[in-house]
Structure formats: C-alpha cells, structure tokens
Amino acid sequence: MRICLILALPGILSVAACEESVIDQNTTSRFVTPSSSGEIDVPATGAGGSIIFGGEGVVYRAGADSPTGIVAVAGIIPGTTVSAIPDSGSSIYSGTFELVKVDGFFVNDNQNVVGFPTLRSGDISLTADFDDQTLKGRADDLTVDGSFTGNTLAGSVEYEGISGTLRGLIGADKAVGAFHGNDSDEIYAGGFYVTPTPD
C-alpha cells in the first residue's frame, strides 16, 4: 500500500504533487525478450502489436505492470537474423514503424495509475551510412538516431519530444529495431522493420 503525505501550507493543499509522485513512480518503459513465437509475458494484457515477417521482427505492448503501475515494453523476437554489413557506402532502408503510447495518467479511486493508450503506425525511411556506422531518419513525430558495430544496432529515439532508447539488428538485407521511452507525462514503446530501397 502506497502512502502519500499531503502537505498543507497556508491556502495551499498539494494533493496534485502527491498524485504526480505516485504516477512518476509507477509508469515506466523497458526492453523485454519475447518468446520465439512473438509473445510477451509482462504486461500480460494491454494495447500493442508486432511487426513480423517470416517469424522475425519486433513486438511491443503497454499495460498493467502491477496493481498500481503501467509499463510500455518492446523487444526483438529471438532468432531474428540479418545478413553481413557492407564494408562502405550508404543505403536507404524503407518500411514500417509502429508504437503504443500511454498518457493522460491519473490515480483512480482504487489508487491505481490509469492511462489512455494510443496506437501509431506509418511508413519510415532510414539512412544507413556504413562508413560512419549510423542509421538515422524520422517519420511523423518519431526520430531515430542509431549507431552500429557489426550487426548490433543501438542508440536513441525521440517521440513527441520524449527521449528513448533503441536496440536491434542491421544487415545488408534489413534493419529491425525496438525502442522505448518515458517521462512524467507519457510512456511509449514500439519498433520498426525496414529493408533496403532498390536503386
């Protein structure tokens, strides 16, 4: 049971600060490892989706993490593989991104943190620079700023001005990324699956 102290100052009752503290401590985002079939155990229920081709791809979801909290999670499906990286040059990778965001948080009568999920998806183009070992681009309110060593992709994303973390895989045949982020007003998680655009 979470207990909040309400501080009463002359003419001020800081109930809002207490609620914000509860929300901040019970809303988060993180990476998870899906099953080989693309299932996520935590959160067991909620809003989300996947981008899967031939059993490979990314899965994401947001839902109840505990009796009082909400979490947004994303992960690459085990067994997802990519081909070798080119030695030099650059390439445009095009495909799809998807994500779920949760905002509008409040504490209900049962002292549970409640939020409103929204699913977003669209087309995305990312530029892979094999000399600089970067993967960058944007679509709508999502910005990808990745770097890679070998086939391992890492870096950051930004969605609606909120910073997040990126991980995934990149090869000559495709790039698959999972990402998540959060601040005091919003949590999100999602991913992308892109392939080289023919010249």
CATH number at residue 78: 2.40.160.90
Q: What angle do CA 134, 138, 144 make, to 5 degrees?
A: 45
Which domain covers residue 83, as residue numbers?
A: 27-196
Q: What is the pLDDT at residue 6?
A: 28
As a whole-number percent, the residues of the chain with pLDDT over 70 amount to 90
Selected residue with higher pLDDT from 197 and 6 = 197
| Number of domains making up the chain | 1
pTM for the model stands at: 0.89
Q: Structure tokens of 29? A: 């985002």
Three-class SS string for the chain?
CCCCCCCEECCEECHHHHHHHHHHHHEEEEECCCCCCCCCCCCCCCEEEEEEECCEEEEEEEEECCCCCEEEEEEECCCCCCCCCCCCCEEEEEEEEEEEEEEEEEECCCCCEEEEEEEEEEEEEEEEECCCCEEEEEECCEEEEEEEECCEEEEEEEECCEEEEEEEEECCCCEEEEEEEECCCEEEEEEEEEEECCC
Residue 2 lies in a domain: no
Asked if residue 8 has pLDDT above 50, the reply is no
Please state, in angstroms and rounded to a whole number, the distance separating the CA atoms of residues 95 and 116.
27
Residue 112 lies in a domain: yes
Asked if residue 15 has pLDDT above 60, the reply is no
Residue 22 lies in a domain: no
Q: What is the pLDDT at residue 17?
A: 60
Cα–Cα distances (Å) from 92 to 25, 122, 125, 137, in that order, read: 40, 17, 7, 10
Residue 37 lies in a domain: yes
Residue 90 lies in a domain: yes
Residue 14 lies in a domain: no
40: number of Cβ within 10 Å: 20
Residue 34 lies in a domain: yes
- Categorise residue 89: left if φ over 0, alpha if ψ from -120 to 50, beta otherwise: left
Residue 32 lies in a domain: yes
Q: How confident is the model at residue 5 (pLDDT cuts 50, 70, 90)?
A: very low
The mean per-residue pLDDT over the stretch 77-103 comes to 96
As a whole-number percent, the residues of the chain with pLDDT over 90 amount to 71
Question: Using an 8 Å Cβ cutoff, are 93 and 85 in contact?
Answer: no
**Parallel/antiparallel/unpaired status of strands 175-182 and 162-170:** antiparallel
The mean per-residue pLDDT over the stretch 115-143 comes to 96
State the chain's mean pLDDT as an integer.
89
Selected residue with higher pLDDT from 1 and 194 = 194
